[in-house]
Chain A
């Protein structure tokens, strides 16, 4: 099946900048996938999302969304995507229903009418379904400024799904939310995926959010550092090893060679191994050991290692 998002050699250098904000990245996202672009602030995540959502031109490279080229068929791309911005995108003085209605008209779903009561029956039906889904039946006519931060985010997501986009882009959607709102937002997003089969394209700098994804792409300084399922990424990025040493280093070296264990000899000896291998090796060694140390970093350690400034 053709991927829903295809990115090839995408590069962006802002006017007057000395380095590329996005530097030749390529990846693809399959339809229905939960994809995460993970990276620290300034890694190029928002630049990438701005290019893919057609509000910024790339310096070079191509990208296609739902088969439409982002440069030559921007309007078709826009019709096929929904976006949740970093900054809230609701008019706070307008009601929830008005925020929804204006979106619906801009996407060509309904004709313009100045009041809710003059809108077509199908629209009213859709709004009341959405309100029920959000548990906001009585609040649709209240100004959005009366809503909690989490509720506003949910309203934005609901609104972005009105035109049934193939891909939903979320640019750091949980920044500024309290832990409880964050949790409910995630539960709601999974529900959206189950019910609509929408592809989710998320950017985040929180590692724990990336671990829920089908696939993760870690980006730093505009380049892709690791790419794959969270487990694959972990395997790519982390190195599990044991450190051994003995009073009699010659004897230990000979023994390791005899056991056909690959090692690098520094002080102490470093052996790449994980899980059951560790136990097997240590059990086989007869030389009295003066040091046994295992190194098993978490994905977070590896991530922090990557994003550390050089």
Chain B
């Protein structure tokens, strides 16, 4: 019971820290805003008109998944220097299991990312994206799945990093290529074989595609926007989630004690 209370405490603390820090809240919504309103808007006006492809909706769904995936994984990676920061130092010396710390962090960062999701929905509406109540519920579910998947991806990255400096140097190279390989802004159907290979090993691809699976269901442009069906994406994500989580947690806990 105590470990469950600890997980809840850690997750709640992450959420509370975000809500008490309006500057952080705003700055974390800046990129989704730029991507959806400016990039989406400009692509739509240059390429979208005349074609039957809706760039705004395409980029909105891509950025929705990308932001959640990235936010959750970056949040988990912050465990790397948490032992030197604020209350997190306390967490590492408290009598709770290291597995509890990881689990609390994953749930906490999921809550944090889902708070950002609300902001992204507002940007989407402002940019002219329209969705039904059913689609909204769908985005909620795919959002949570994406956050958990991103957090597990964060755990496996975390377990292979030694300090904040390496993390800051490596992170852009892990994340930025995935923006394009996952098709966040750019349709990726018919890629040459080497790019297709890289795309298939980019975890973000499956999160983005799952989101579009759910959002585009029943629409005429489903075939242009979506790569694989939801069953395929969900199965792959579940398998990868379990692998990332177990191997990552095992390595992290072991490294924790053998510095």
* A and B are partners in one complex rather than unrelated chains: yes
Q: Mark A52-79, 1 if CB is under 8 A from B, else 0.
A: 0111110000000000000000011011
Given A14-B259, A92-B86, are A106 and B12 also a contact pair (CB < 8 Å)?
no
Flag whether A15 is at the interface (Cβ < 8 A): yes
Inter-chain contact A57/B257, CB cutoff 8 Å: yes
Inter-chain contact B93/A55, CB cutoff 8 Å: yes
Flag whether A93 is at the interface (Cβ < 8 A): yes
Which residues of A are found within 8 Å of B88, using beta-carbon distances?
89
Partner of A55, one of B12, B16, B92, B96: B92
CB-CB nearest in chain A for B18: A93
Q: CA separation between A76 and B95, bound complex, in Å?
A: 7
Inter-chain contact B90/A94, CB cutoff 8 Å: no
Q: CA separation between A108 and B2, bound complex, in Å?
A: 6
Partner of A91, one of B4, B6, B86, B96: B86
Inter-chain contact A93/B9, CB cutoff 8 Å: no
Q: CA separation between A90 and B94, bound complex, in Å?
A: 14
Flag whether A250 is at the interface (Cβ < 8 A): no
Q: CA separation between A134 and B7, bound complex, in Å?
A: 30
Q: Mark A142-154, 1 if CB is under 8 A from B, else 0.
A: 0100000000000
Q: CA separation between A55 and B89, bound complex, in Å?
A: 10
Which residues of B are found within 8 Å of A87, using beta-carbon distances?
84-85, 89
Q: CA separation between A196 and B1, bound complex, in Å?
A: 29
14 interchain pairs, CB-CB under 8 A? A55-B92, A79-B95, A83-B93, A87-B85, A89-B88, A89-B89, A89-B90, A94-B13, A94-B17, A98-B16, A102-B13, A106-B9, A112-B6, A112-B9
Flag whether B5 is at the interface (Cβ < 8 A): yes
Given A75-B95, A79-B95, A143-B20, are A90 and B87 also a contact pair (CB < 8 Å)?
yes
Inter-chain contact B6/A105, CB cutoff 8 Å: yes
Flag whether A120 is at the interface (Cβ < 8 A): no
Flag whether A107 is at the interface (Cβ < 8 A): yes
Q: CA separation between A19 and B13, bound complex, in Å?
A: 40
Which residues of B are found within 8 Å of A98, using beta-carbon distances?
16
Flag whether B80 is at the interface (Cβ < 8 A): no
Of B5, B86, B97, chain A has the most CB atoms within 10 Å of the CB of: B86
Nearest Cβ distance between residue B90 and chain A, in whole angstroms? 5
Inter-chain contact A106/B21, CB cutoff 8 Å: no
Nearest Cβ distance between residue A122 and chain B, in whole angstroms? 15
Which residues of B are found within 8 Å of A93, using beta-carbon distances?
17, 20-21
Interface size on B, residues (CB 8 A): 31
CB-CB nearest in chain B for A160: B90
Inter-chain contact B86/A106, CB cutoff 8 Å: no
Q: CA separation between A76 and B21, bound complex, in Å?
A: 35
Flag whether A88 is at the interface (Cβ < 8 A): yes
Flag whether A111 is at the interface (Cβ < 8 A): yes
Flag whether A205 is at the interface (Cβ < 8 A): no
Inter-chain contact A107/B95, CB cutoff 8 Å: yes
Nearest Cβ distance between residue B141 and chain A, in whole angstroms? 24
Which residues of A are found within 8 Å of B1, using beta-carbon distances?
111
Nearest Cβ distance between residue A61 and chain B, in whole angstroms? 15
Q: Would you call the interface of chain B mostly helix, strand, loop, or mixed?
A: helix
Inter-chain contact A107/B94, CB cutoff 8 Å: yes
Flag whether A270 is at the interface (Cβ < 8 A): no
Which residues of B are found within 8 Å of A88, using beta-carbon distances?
86
Q: CA separation between A89 and B91, bound complex, in Å?
A: 10
CB-CB nearest in chain A for B86: A91
Flag whether A99 is at the interface (Cβ < 8 A): yes
Q: Mark B9-43, 1 if CB is under 8 A from A, else 0.
A: 10011001100110000000000000000000000
Flag whether A85 is at the interface (Cβ < 8 A): yes
Flag whether A103 is at the interface (Cβ < 8 A): yes
Nearest Cβ distance between residue B51 and chain A, in whole angstroms? 47
Flag whether A114 is at the interface (Cβ < 8 A): yes
Which residues of B are found within 8 Å of A143, using beta-carbon distances?
20
Inter-chain contact A112/B5, CB cutoff 8 Å: yes
Q: CA separation between A108 and B100, bound complex, in Å?
A: 13
Q: Mark B104-132, 1 if CB is under 8 A from A, else 0.
A: 00000000000000000000000000000
Inter-chain contact A89/B20, CB cutoff 8 Å: no
Which residues of A are found within 8 Å of B175, using beta-carbon distances?
none
Flag whether B83 is at the interface (Cβ < 8 A): yes
Partner of A102, one of B85, B87, B97: B87
Which residues of A are found within 8 Å of B20, using beta-carbon distances?
93-94, 143
Nearest Cβ distance between residue B66 and chain A, in whole angstroms? 27
Inter-chain contact A85/B94, CB cutoff 8 Å: no
Q: CA separation between A55 and B84, bound complex, in Å?
A: 12
Partner of B5, one of A75, A76, A105: A105
Partner of A103, one of B12, B21, B90, B97: B90
CB-CB nearest in chain A for B6: A106
Q: Which 10 A-B pairs have the closest CB atoms?
A: A78-B95, A93-B20, A112-B5, A106-B94, A108-B2, A112-B8, A89-B89, A79-B95, A91-B87, A105-B9
